[in-house]
Amino acid sequence: MIKIVTLIGARPQIIKAAALSRTIKQQFSTRITEVIVHTGQHYDANMSKVFIDQLAIPQPDYNLNVGSGSHGKQTARMLEGVEDILLNEKPDYLLVYGDTNSTLAGALAAVKIHVPVVHVEAGLRSFNKSMPEEINRIACDHVSTLLFTPTLAGLKNLQHEGFNTDFRGNYTSDKPGVFHCGDVMYDNSLYFSKFSANHSTVCHDYHRVPDGFILCTIHRDNNTDEPGKLEALFSTLVRVFEITGKKVVLPLHPRTANVLERNLSSALYRKVRQGSAITLLPPVSFFDMIELERNCSLVMTDSGGVQKEAYFFRKPVIILRNETEWVEIVEAGAGRVCGTRHEDILAALETFTQTPPVEFPDIFGDGKAAEFICNTML
Ligand code: UD1
Ligand code: UDP
């Protein structure tokens, strides 16, 4: 029997954790014990509890309740809390997901007290260190003992950084094991899309018919916190509605909701709130999100996870960033990197409307990434 501590904190990590917890429960319950620690980075019920309840994730054993704050303060509070828990629990591994401040704090706390770090979603790079996530993922990868890459691009990035991805033996943080295993988010989308329609009324509630709307999410700090960029994005969304006649459905991340009125011009803010072009929703549940992704005609997003889910559900995606870690989506012709540039977004919209992508090669594994991770940890 091995004991792992799983660290969650932000919305996408809670969702990712569902795949592993489910797999442990179904296939490894006699061999793996999981202790779940929530940092409290995300804390609103619709950013945290809804996923734990809906996706049948065990209730966290600990919640550090760190809440929001500057990068330094938030990370420091997590570091202190995670260290205490690891000293108390003495696990065989600390497992962290992705690239948030929770990921970084967990990895640093663990490696310093010689708890091996398992990094799920390793190797992704934007090659843009002005993104806090890029710092978090690089630092985490370089102190990890087991690294699981969701894509081949992730594996190649680690090779370029000097990781010996062929090494098999006694893994340590100096000689880590690197494995390409597919994406736990793909595991989840395959699994939960079997149930989502029966648990979601979101399309019905907002009168959205299949292919009759465009789904959008925006939450990256460099989009939300720069008024010029936010204004450019929202005015383009209004234009997208005028061109296509399709409403833009936008579940609002709290970061975006908090700055919308301040960072948009008052005329645009009024237009957005009035709702003829854009339907603003509070953050929605995962089942609602799957149904929105499945039924929309196109996705526009700066989210990492939503880019991938667009691909899982065979929808074209306009990426509202200047680069992406999920380069295979762009290479497959199913996504286009447009930043906040009005002309680029409208050109991509035209291309995807006239010639929708039809090829969606299997670039995210076989839906069994969590099983592979469990077997490898054992
Ligand atoms: C974080 C991650 C980002 C990830 C995103 C997923 C970092 C550096 N960023 O960004 O990589 O893509 O989560 O959603 O870790 N807030 C609330 N309620 C909540 C949570 C946040 O109101 O439950 C508000 C607060 O005003 C907070 C702001 O949102 O200051 C930003 O939250 P934070 O967790 O710092 O960063 P995210 O933008 O959510
Ligand atoms: N998501 C959700 N409800 C929403 C918006 C997103 O359930 O209102 C899910 C989405 O389906 C994906 C994950 O949250 O699984 C992505 O999280 P987010 O966009 O916050 O972060 P990122 O992936 O960019 O780190």
pLDDT tens per residue across span 212-260: 999 999 999 999 999 999 999 999 999 999 999 999 999 999 999 999 9
Is the CB–ligand 2 distance for residue 202 below 6 Å?
A: no
Q: Are 256 and 222 in contact (CB under 8 A)?
A: no
Instruction: Kindly indicate the confidence band of residue 207, based on its pLDDT and cuts at 50, 70 and 90.
Output: confident
**Above 90 in pLDDT, residue 357?**
no
Helix axes 71-89, 101-112, angle to 10 degrees: 40
CATH number of 199-354: 3.40.50.2000
Interatomic CA distance for residues 11 and 13, integer angstroms: 5
What pLDDT, on the 0 to 100 scale, is given for residue 51?
98
Is the CB–ligand 1 distance for residue 219 below 6 Å?
A: yes
Ligand 1: centre distance to CA 10 (Å): 7
| Residue % of the chain over a pLDDT of 90 | 98
What pLDDT, on the 0 to 100 scale, is given for residue 32?
98
Q: Are 302 and 339 in contact (CB under 8 A)?
A: no
Tokens of 190: 């395959």
Atom of ligand 1 lying closest to residue 100 CA: 15
Same fold, 2-180 and 199-354: yes
Interatomic CA distance for residues 308 and 297, integer angstroms: 15
Is the CB–ligand 2 distance for residue 307 below 6 Å?
A: no
For residue 69, the ligand closest to its alpha carbon is: 1
Of 253, 201, 260, 281, nearest to 47 by C-alpha is 253
Sequence-distant (6+) residues with CB within 8 A of 358 are none
Instruction: Kindly indicate the confidence band of residue 140, based on its pLDDT and cuts at 50, 70 and 90.
Output: very high
Residues linked to residue 318 through DSSP beta bridges, in sequence order? 300, 336
Active-site residue flag, 199:
no
Q: What is the pTM of this model?
A: 0.98
Apex 232 CA angle, 227 and 69, nearest 5? 35
What is the amino acid identity at position 86?
A: L
Q: Are 125 and 157 in contact (CB under 8 A)?
A: yes
Going by the DSSP 8-state scheme, the letter that residue 324 receives in this structure is -
CATH fold of 2-180: Rossmann fold (3.40.50)
pLDDT digits (tens, 9 = 90+) for 292-303: 999 999 999 999
Q: Are 320 and 340 in contact (CB under 8 A)?
A: yes
**Above 90 in pLDDT, residue 35?**
yes
pLDDT digits (tens, 9 = 90+) for 65-89: 999 999 999 999 999 999 999 999 9
Tokens of 292: 């929105």
Mean pLDDT of 19-34: 98
What pLDDT, on the 0 to 100 scale, is given for residue 24?
98
What pLDDT, on the 0 to 100 scale, is given for residue 358?
87
pLDDT digits (tens, 9 = 90+) for 79-115: 999 999 999 999 999 999 999 999 999 999 999 999 9
Apex 282 CA angle, 120 and 212, nearest 5? 90
If residue 214 lies in a helix (H) or strand (E), which one and from where to where? Answer: strand 213-217
For residue 49, the ligand closest to its alpha carbon is: 1
Instruction: Kindly indicate the confidence band of residue 136, based on its pLDDT and cuts at 50, 70 and 90.
Output: very high
Mean pLDDT of the chain: 97
Domain edges within the chain: 2-180, 199-354
Is the CB–ligand 2 distance for residue 283 below 6 Å?
A: yes
